[in-house]
A and B are shown apart, each in its own frame.
Chain A
Amino acid sequence: MKPIFFVLLLLPCLAAYAQISTHYEGGDHAPSVAVSTHSGGAPAPTGSTFGADTYDAARFLNYASLGADYETISAVSKQGQARWLEKQLAMPPQVNFRDTTWMIWEHFYPQYIAIWGRDYIVNHGDAVLPYWFYWKMAWWNNILKSDDHVRQRVTQAMSQIFVISEKSNLQLSGPGMADYYDLLYGHAFGNFRDLLYDISLHPMMGFYLSHINNPKSNAAKNIHPDENYAREIMQLFSIGLYELHQDGSPKLDGAGKPIPTYDNGDIKEFAKIFTGLAPAGYYWPWEDYSQYPTEWGSEYNESPATIVTWEPMVAFEEWHEPGVKKLLNGKVVPAGQTTLEDINAAVDNLFHHPNVGPFIGKLLIQRLVKSNPTPAYVRRVAAKFDDNGLGVRGDMKAVIRAILLDKEALEDSWKEMPQAGKLREPLLRYTQALRAFNVTNQSGKLWNWGYLFDEAVSQGVLTSPSVFNFYLPEYQPNGPIADADLFAPEFQIHTSATSINFINLAYDWFINDYYGEIATHAGKDSHNTPSYELSDLDPKDYLYLDLEEEYNMAWNAPALIERLNLILTGGAFSEATKASILKAVEQLSDPVERVKAALFLSFISPEYSIQK
C-alpha cells in the first residue's frame, strides 16, 4: 500500500446511511491532509491525454483485474499486455482466504467471550460460530491487498460459473466458503480437470448440491440416489445442455433442432456415481472433535456448522452404489470400483467431452471481456482449451491468455460495434472504486462485509440466489438489445431498484466518504455478530482513498477528468460526457468537492458503466 495522503471531509447536509453516519464526525483522526488549494494553479494541459499505449493498458486492465491504479496501468503500458500477463500467470497464489477468515474469527470470538462470558458463549442456544461474515470480510481484505490481478479476476469470474452461495445453510461456515474460494483461486491457473474433480469433492459443494451424505439406492424403500449434483455438473459446470460446435453454436439434428448432451437416464447414471460421500471429520469451535471418526448417518453430518468444511469429502464404500454405471458417449464404469475411482472416471468422461472448450470458454469470455463474443473468438479460445500448444487439454493459463490477448479484446476497432462490450458487474464497479485509488485504513483491517452493497445491487461474491448465478448467460433485456438478438447477462440485475441503488452507493462512497461496512468490534446487542456501526469503529478503521494526485489536479478540471477517464475506462468518455462532468466541476469552489464531483459523475456515467 502506498503512503497515506488523504482528506476526510464530511458534508453533513448530505449524510447518507443516516443511521450509520451519525457518529462519523470528521477528520480529526486524519494523520495528514494534503490538498492542493492553489487557485487556477498548474499549467493546464487542457484536454491533456495520455499515450495510446496507456489507454490500451487501462482498457486491458478492465478485463484483467478487479481494478487497477495508475501505477499498474503505467507498468502494463511499459511492459506490454502480453509480457505483463506472463508475469501474472507465473505468480503463485498471494493470499489464503481461509487463513484470513480464521484470523478474523480469532479477532472476534474473544470479544464475544469478554462481553458475554465464556459459559454463555459456549453453551448458548444461538451458537457462536465462524459464520459467513468472517469470510466476507476476509474476501474484501484480501482482494484489496493483493497484486495478483489476473488470478483474482479470474477467480471472481469462476465463482460465477462453479457456483455455491452463502444464501443457503452454507452461511454457517465461513471457513468452508473461504476454502471453496481458495480452491477456485488455486486452480485458476491450473488444469480444468483438477478443478472439476476437486469441486466435486468439496463439502461445501456437497451441501449446496446435496451429494454429501447421498446413499446408494434402496429399492425396498423406494430410495434413489440424489440427482442434483449429477445434473448440474453437466448442465452448468462442464458441457451444458446441447452439443456445441467449437464456436459455441449448437449442433442441429436433421429437423433443425439442437441435440441434447444428456437425458434423464444419463442423470440417473451419474447420480449413482456421486453416492457414498461423507464429511472428512467433525468440528465445533468450543470442543475438540478431531478424534471422532466420521460415521455415516450421524446427525452431525447434516450441517456445514458441525463438520470439517475445508477437507475433501471421504468415501464410505458400503454406501456407494455398486454395479456398472453408464457414462456419456458410450463409456461405462465397470462394477466393483471404489467411489473415488468412479468419480475420477465420470470427471474424465465430462472433461473429454468436446463441449467443454466452447461452453466454459464462452462463459469466461462473457465474464471477462464481452457479452457477445463472435463465434470465431469462442473457437480460438476453445482451441486453446483443447490443446495449449503442447498437447495438453484443459490448461487454464492457455485459455486465459487466449481470452485476454485476443484481438477482439484488445483491438480498438471492435469498440463501436453494437455487439461490443458488457455492462460492468456492480461488484466489479465497487472493487474498482476501491482498488483504483488504493483504499486503506490505518489499522490495516480492510474487513468489509459488503452486505448492504449486496442488498442494494443484488451482487456479492458467492451470494447468488441459486446455482444459476446472479444472471443467466443468455439474458436479453427488452428493447434494442433483445431486438438485435444480443445477450446482456448483467442487465438481469439492472432493475428499477438496483440501477438507482448503485447511484446512491456511489454517492455514499465519493460524497459521504463511506466506502464500506468495516467491522472490527463485536456487536453490543448480539452475542455472535460483529458490528459495522460507525459508532463501534475506531477512527483508525475508517476507510479512505488515496486521491493525492486527483486533489493536485482539482483546479485543472480537464486534466482531472482525463485522468479518471484513463483509470476507470481506458479512455471511453465522449466529449459530451467530459463536458457534462466539467461543467459540474467548474461550478464548485472547494477543491475536495471538485474531485468528489468528478469521481461521482464518472462512476455513474453510462460510458463508464458500459465497458467497451
Chain B
Amino acid sequence: MSKKHQHQKGMSRRRFLGTASCAAVGSTTFLSSILNLGVVNALAGMAQPSLPDDGDYKAMVCILLAGGNDSFNMLVPRKGAHYKEYAKTRSNLALPKGDLLPINFADSEGKQFGLHPSMPEVQRLFNDNKLSFISNVGTLVAPTTKAQYLNGSVPVPVGLLSHADQIQQWQTSIPQTRSSKGWGGRMADILQAGNGNQNISMNISLSGTNIFQVGNRSTEYAIRAAAGGSVGIKVLEGTSTLARVLRSGTESLLAQQYQDIFKSTFTKKIKDSQANHEEFGAAIQKAPKLTTTFSDNPVSANMELIAKTIAVRKTLEVRRQTFFLNFGGWDHHDGVLDNQVAMLSVVSKALSEFQAAMEELGLADCVTTFTASDFGRTLTSNGNGSDHAWGGNVMVMGGSVNGGQVFGKYPSLALNGQDDVGGAILLPSLSTDEYFAELSKWFGVSNGDLSYVLPNIGNFYDANSSTLPIGFMKI
C-alpha cells in the first residue's frame, strides 16, 4: 500500500477566523442607558482608588494546558544515570538523549536537565533567566508522604486522576471538595476594588467561562482574538429606521426586571457584556502597534490580544489584571510523542513572543505568566501514549521571576521508586497552594487575605512567614 499521508485538517482555519470576525466599535448609547437604569452600579458604593501609576501595574497570565501535559517529557534529566533511569521507565516514550535541549542548571543532586526538542525559545528564556520551572507540583489537601498515601492516613484529592476533578482543582486549589470558585476569582473579590474601573472585571478570559476566574463576587469578562477582541451587539450601532426601532426594542427587553433567576442571570450577562464591550472596545482601539510579531495560531493570537489589553491598561484604568487562556488537547493517551512536538512548539513560541512584547512595553517586571495542567501523566507507556497521573512540571515566566532555575524537587523517575505511588504515578512534592500562594503574594494579596484566596494554605505554609513558599518570585 502506498499513499500520501499528510492530511491537513482540510481547511484553512485562518480563513474562517478571518470571516468570523466582525469589527465592532460601539456607540456608548447602550451603556448610558444601562447606567441610567441602574443595572451595573451594584458596585456603586465601592471605593474608587486613584489611577495607578505604572510602577504598580501587575498582571498574571494563566495558560492552562488542558488535558494533562506529559511534562516529564518537557523537562527531562539529560545526563548519566538520571537519563538512564528516565529512559528505562519511559521505554518507547523516552526522548533520545541527543535531542534534548540543554539548560544551564544543576540541582542539589547534580541532576542536569534538557528540554523537549521543540522548545528552543523556552531554552533561551530559561538561559536568559526569564523563565523557571517548578517541578512535581500537584493537587494536595495537606503534605503527604508515599507511606501516608498508601495507608490512607491523609486525605487525598477527590477524583484523583480524573480530568473533570483535577482540572477543577488546579483552578480552585481546594482538592478535598468540588467547587466552582477559583483562586483567581477570590483574588478579584479582594483586589477588584483597587482598579479605577469597576465595570470591567479584573479577570479577563480569552477562553470563555472558567473556574479559575470566578470568585464569590467576581466573574470573568470574556474576549476573543477570533472576534478581534470584545464583542458588541450590532443592532445597537445601526442608523436606519429599522435599526433604531430594533435598538429600542432590544433595550426594552433587556431592561425588564425579571423575577425568575434564570431570566435575570441570562439578561445580566448580556447587559454587563455590552457595557464592558463599549468601554473595552474603545480602549483597545488605542493600543499601540507592537513591533513584536506573533505566530499565526490561536494561542499566539490570544497572547497578542493579552499584550494589547495590557498596553491600554491606563485607558482601562486598571492596576491589577489576570488573564486566562485555555490551550486544550493534551490528553495524549495516544501519539504523545508526535503531538507534543507540535503543541509544545506552539507554547514555546507563544511564551517567547509574549515576553518580547512585555519587554517592548517596558512591563516585563509587571507581568508574570504561569502554566497549569490537569495532572502529569504516567511515566510508563500504554503503547504509544501515557495515562492520567498526578504531579507534573510547570513554567513561570517574567521579569519578576527568579529565572533560570528548577524549583522544587525533581522526582525520582524510577519505577516503584520513592515518588511513585504505584502505576508510575508521581506523588507531588509541592502543592498547588504553595505555587499559587507565591504568585498571590507577588500580586498583592496580603498575608491576612491569603487564606481567603487559598483556604488550605495553612496546611503547607505560614502566611506570616518571612520566607516565600517556594522562592521563585522576586518579592
> Residues of A at under 8 Å CB distance from B?
11, 13-14, 16-20, 123-127, 129, 131-133, 168, 171-172, 207, 209-210, 213-215, 221-228, 231, 235, 241, 264, 267-268, 282, 284, 286-287, 289, 292, 299-300, 302-303, 305-306, 416, 418, 421-423, 451-452, 455-456, 458, 465-468, 472, 474-482, 484, 486, 488, 491-501, 503-504, 507, 511, 526, 528-529, 576-577, 580-581, 583-584, 587-588, 590, 593, 596-597, 600-601, 604-607, 609-610, 612
Contacts and interface: CB of A to CB of B under 8 A. Distances in A.
28 contacts: A125-B4, A127-B7, A131-B9, A131-B10, A172-B7, A209-B333, A210-B333, A213-B334, A224-B378, A226-B333, A226-B385, A289-B1, A455-B20, A474-B178, A478-B219, A480-B261, A491-B265, A493-B208, A493-B209, A494-B269, A495-B208, A497-B227, A500-B277, A526-B11, A528-B10, A584-B249, A604-B253, A606-B254
Interface in B318-357: 328-329, 331, 333-335
Nearest to A484: B261
A18, A131, A511, A606 — which one has the most chain B CB atoms within 10 A of its CB? A606
Contact of B385 (A129, A133, A210): A210
Contacts of B160: 264
Given A226-B333, A496-B223, A610 B260 contact: yes
Nearest to B387: A227
Given A223-B383, A224-B423, A496-B273, A584 B10 contact: no
A286 B240 CA distance: 54
Contacts of A14: 238, 240, 242-243
B3 A306 contact: yes
Nearest to B280: A496
Contact of A302 (B178, B227, B264, B335): B335
B266 A11 contact: no
A500 B232 contact: yes
A584 B66 CA distance: 46
Interface string B1-22: 1011111111110001111101
Contacts, number: 301
A225 B383 CA distance: 8
Given A495-B222, A497-B231, A577-B256, A20 B19 contact: yes
B239, B245, B258, B264 — which one has the most chain A CB atoms within 10 A of its CB? B245
A16 B162 contact: no
Range of interface residues on chain B?
35 or more
> Which 10 pairs across A and B sit closest by C-beta, in order of nearness?
A584-B249, A496-B273, A131-B10, A210-B333, A480-B261, A226-B382, A580-B252, A222-B380, A210-B334, A495-B222
Nearest to A452: B20
B388 interface: yes
Contacts of A511: 235, 242, 246
A455 B227 CA distance: 9
A22 B384 CA distance: 49
Nearest to A528: B10
A42 B275 CA distance: 42
Interface string B361-387: 000000000000000001111111101
Nearest to B256: A576
Contacts of B92: 221, 223
B380 A488 contact: no
B285 interface: no
Contacts of A215: 383
B16 A451 contact: yes
Interface string B429-465: 0000000000000000000000000000000000000
Given A221-B381, A481-B261, A13 B240 contact: yes
B383 A226 contact: yes
Contacts of B313: none
Contacts of A482: 180
A607 B254 CA distance: 10
Given A466-B67, A484-B261, A498-B208, A456 B4 contact: no
A404 to B, nearest CB: 21
A577 B252 CA distance: 8
Nearest to B268: A479
Nearest to B161: A264
Contacts of A287: 1, 3
A496 B272 contact: yes
B60 interface: no
A302 B5 CA distance: 11
B249 A580 contact: yes
Contacts of A609: 263, 266
Nearest to A532: B19
Contacts of B43: none
Nearest to A305: B7
Nearest to B206: A497
